[in-house]
A and B are shown apart, each in its own frame.
Chain A
Amino acid sequence: MRILVADDSRAMRMIVVRTLRQAGFTGHEIIEAENGQTALEIAAEKGVDLILSDWDMPEMTGIEFLRALRASGKRTPFCFVTSEGSEQMRELADASGALGLITKPFTADAFSETLSSVVTP
Chain B
Amino acid sequence: MSAIDEFEEAREDLEALLIEVLGAVSGEEAMPVWDETLPPGPVVSARLAIHDEDDDSFTMVGVRTSSIVARVLASRMLLTADPGPEDLIDAMGELGNIAGGNVKSLLRHSCRLSLPTAEVTENPGPEHEFSGVTVRASLLGQVVELSVDVAEDVAGLYWPGSPAGALEIRP
Interface size of A by CB at 8 A reads 32
B87 close to A (CB within 8 Å): yes
Q: Which residues of chain B from 147 to 171 have a CB within 8 Å of any chain A CB? A: 158, 160-163, 167-169, 171
- Total number of B residues with any Cβ neighbor in A under 8 Å: 34
Bound CA–CA A83/B113 (angstroms): 10
Q: Is the CB of B161 within 8 A of A64?
A: yes
Q: Is the CB of A9 within 8 A of B162?
A: no
- Nearest residue (CB) in B for A91 is B171
Are A60's CB and B161's CB within 8 A? yes
Determine how close the nearest CB of chain A comes to the CB of B50; give it in whole angstroms: 10
Name A63's closest neighbour in chain B (CB-CB).
B169
**Contacting residues, chain B, for A106 (C-beta < 8 A):** 24
Interchain CB contact under 8 A, A64 and B94: no
| Chain A residues within 8 Å of B, Cβ to Cβ | 8-12, 14-15, 18, 55-61, 63-64, 67, 82-86, 88-89, 91-92, 103-107
Q: What are 21 A-to-B residue pairs whose CB atoms are below 8 Å? A: A9-B90, A10-B90, A11-B77, A12-B94, A14-B79, A56-B113, A56-B160, A57-B115, A57-B161, A58-B160, A60-B167, A61-B167, A61-B168, A67-B169, A84-B113, A85-B101, A85-B105, A89-B171, A92-B169, A103-B105, A105-B21
